[in-house]
Amino acid sequence: MQPDVSTDFLIIGAGFAGCVIGERLAAAGWKCVVVDRREHVGGNAYDETDAAGVLVHRYGPHYFRTNSPRVVDYLSRFTEWHAVDYTIKSFTRGRYWSFPVNLNTFEEYLGRSSSPEEFAGWLGRLRVPVNDPQNSEEIILAQVGREFYELFFENYTLKQWRRHPRDLDASVCGRIPLRTNRDDRYLAENFQALPKHGFAAMFGRMLEASPGLELHLGVDFQEARKRWPCRHLIYTGALDEYFAYRYGPLPYRSLRFEAESFSAEQLVGRRAVAGKSGYWQPVMQVNFPDMEVPYTRIVEMKHATGQTVDATTIIREYPKDWQRGGEPYYPVPAPDARVAYRRYATLAETEPNVSFVGRLATYRYYNMDQVIGMALAEAEKLILRYGSQSSRNIV
Ligand code: FAD
Ligand code: UDP
């Protein structure tokens, strides 16, 4: 450590980006201080057992999935896994629909049985020909045609983003798979599982494995940079906030979560809807495209965790505009937002000895595995630059 610094690395944010980099650098022998303004680790992936005894995800459902064996191998050092086929439904026109769109959805639409061939033929006639979809409207029209676009995507997207799908990148709605068979899993990645004892437990083991890492919760960046002068700063918060909103705030979308718990007795009347006792709804997530419904989805995480507990908890998600001081849950994937982000990214490139890592600092609509991959790559770069324990004096 240099005499004028109190830690080698100061890491702002104890979400996936901050904890993964911290764990890697501490394992290489460096002294790391990780801070978070929240009172817990895990960032938005944080989970906890609520007053009803149900394991819930405090900041919206976090379905771990990836095609990266490297990311799975890395996390498997800190957790075992509970395999889950994430299954959801959409609720509109007064009924539940299989979602994402698959052969079952088509049969529900027709009101009779069908075949992959008939469905493919139907799609072939309804699809709008677009060679290179440029936005979320074009990509869905090109995949399923106008009928299903209007039924499942247009209003849901307007509600979630307060933007029309044509004003969002194709990758936003393009995340949702389309299948002509009966595979109704929400996600397409090879590996789909939750940490067996939850995300918070996994983060706990990650930090336990890092004795050279000091964690301070309830501490903001401004205070941290004064308390711990460092050799290198790793910043995983919002990029515009780092620069004190010099060019104005970037656009974000925020959410309000509303939880409601039910005892076993209260759930008796829901058995017909849920299809089994002890649950409130038939699957872990139900999406609500209708504009009259103020929330976008209801999540009942017990379906996914497989937790055996009599009670259950559902969480309704209400999209809302972001304002300074609020939680910037989603960067907005759209051309105008990208232009605004580029100005900040140019400033970031000129910051000496600072790495900007994670979903908010790079303003990307990234899933957990993508952020973990980014953090592993940045840790490798830093170890190459500063060396590891055996070569600590090499700067
Ligand atoms: P974060 O998790 O946001 O962590 C950043 C941390 O930095 C926070 O704890 C914050 O408090 C702290 N911080 C920020 N600024 C400061 C500051 N100035 N001072 C101190 N601390 C600060 N991904 C999936 O793979 N599957 C899913 O199903 C999924 N569902 C999601 C649902 C929702 C509603 C949301 C919002 C995201 C979802 N994600 C999902 C994405 C996932 O949350 C992110 O990819 C991941 O958590 C990003 O990790 P991160 O460390 O970059 O950021
Ligand atoms: N989407 C939609 N209808 C749905 C589900 C998703 O139109 O029933 C669109 C919507 O724009 C949403 C995007 O697809 O923001 C990505 O959905 P996902 O469920 O992956 O969003 P996240 O879990 O990241 O909020």
Band (pLDDT 50/70/90 cuts) for residue 73 is very high
- Look up tokens 């718990």; give the residue: 261
The answer to whether residue 394 scores a pLDDT higher than 80 is no
75 C-alpha to center of ligand 2: Å? 26
* Ligand 2 atom 2 nearest Cα: 153
161 C-alpha to center of ligand 2: Å? 10
* Ligand 1 atom 15 nearest Cα: 237
* Ligand 1 atom 41 nearest Cα: 367
Please report the atom of ligand 2 found closest to the CA of residue 90.
8
pLDDT tens digits along 32-67: 999 999 999 999 999 999 999 999 999 999 999 999
Please report the atom of ligand 2 found closest to the CA of residue 140.
7
pLDDT at residue 340 in the model: 98
pLDDT at residue 82 in the model: 98
The answer to whether residue 313 scores a pLDDT higher than 50 is yes
pLDDT tens digits along 202-219: 999 999 999 999 999 999
- Look up tokens 């050092």; give the residue: 77
Q: Which ligand is nearest to the CA of 225?
A: 1
- Look up tokens 């610094």; give the residue: 5
Please report the atom of ligand 1 found closest to the CA of residue 17.
51
Band (pLDDT 50/70/90 cuts) for residue 3 is low
Instruction: Give residues (CB < 6 A) around ligand 2.
Output: 90, 99, 152-153, 156-157, 160, 172-173, 175-176, 287, 289
pLDDT at residue 1 in the model: 63
- The pick from 44, 68, 175, 284 for probing ligand 1's pocket by mutation, whose C-beta has the most ligand atoms within 8 angstroms, reads 44
Q: For the domain bounded by 7-48+195-250+331-386, which CATH number is listed?
A: 3.40.50.720
Distance, CA of 308 to CA of 289 (rounded, Å):
31
Band (pLDDT 50/70/90 cuts) for residue 393 is very low
Q: Is the pTM of this model over 0.85?
A: yes
173 C-alpha to center of ligand 2: Å? 6
pLDDT at residue 2 in the model: 65
Distance, CA of 271 to CA of 123 (rounded, Å):
35
pLDDT at residue 5 in the model: 83
Burial class (CB in 10 A: 0-12, 13-18, 19+), 29: middle
Please report the atom of ligand 1 found closest to the CA of residue 19.
51
Instruction: Give residues (CB < 6 A) around ligand 1.
Output: 12-18, 35-38, 43-45, 59-64, 220-221, 236-237, 241, 255, 329, 358-360, 366-369, 371
34's CB contacts (< 8 A; 6+ apart) are 11, 13, 14, 18, 19, 22, 213, 214, 215, 216
Over residues 294-298, mean pLDDT: 98
Distance, CA of 130 to CA of 128 (rounded, Å):
6
The answer to whether residue 166 scores a pLDDT higher than 70 is yes
177 C-alpha to center of ligand 2: Å? 11
* Ligand 1 atom 52 nearest Cα: 358
Burial class (CB in 10 A: 0-12, 13-18, 19+), 309: middle
Contact 79, 318 (CB under 8 A): no
Q: In 3D, which of 185, 189, 98 has the Cα closest to residue 148?
A: 98
* Ligand 1 atom 21 nearest Cα: 36
162's CB contacts (< 8 A; 6+ apart) are 253, 319, 321
Contact 11, 33 (CB under 8 A): yes
Domain with CATH 3.40.50.720 in the chain: 7-48+195-250+331-386
pLDDT at residue 4 in the model: 78
305 C-alpha to center of ligand 1: Å? 20
Pairing of strands 81-83, 191-195: antiparallel
Mean pLDDT, rounded, of the chain: 96
Q: Which ligand is nearest to the CA of 155?
A: 2
Q: Which ligand is nearest to the CA of 105?
A: 2
pLDDT tens digits along 339-364: 999 999 999 999 999 999 999 999 99
Band (pLDDT 50/70/90 cuts) for residue 388 is confident
pLDDT tens digits along 127-159: 999 999 999 999 999 999 999 999 999 999 999
Lowest pLDDT segment from 2-6, 168-172, 278-282, 302-306: 2-6
Pairing of strands 7-12, 32-36: parallel
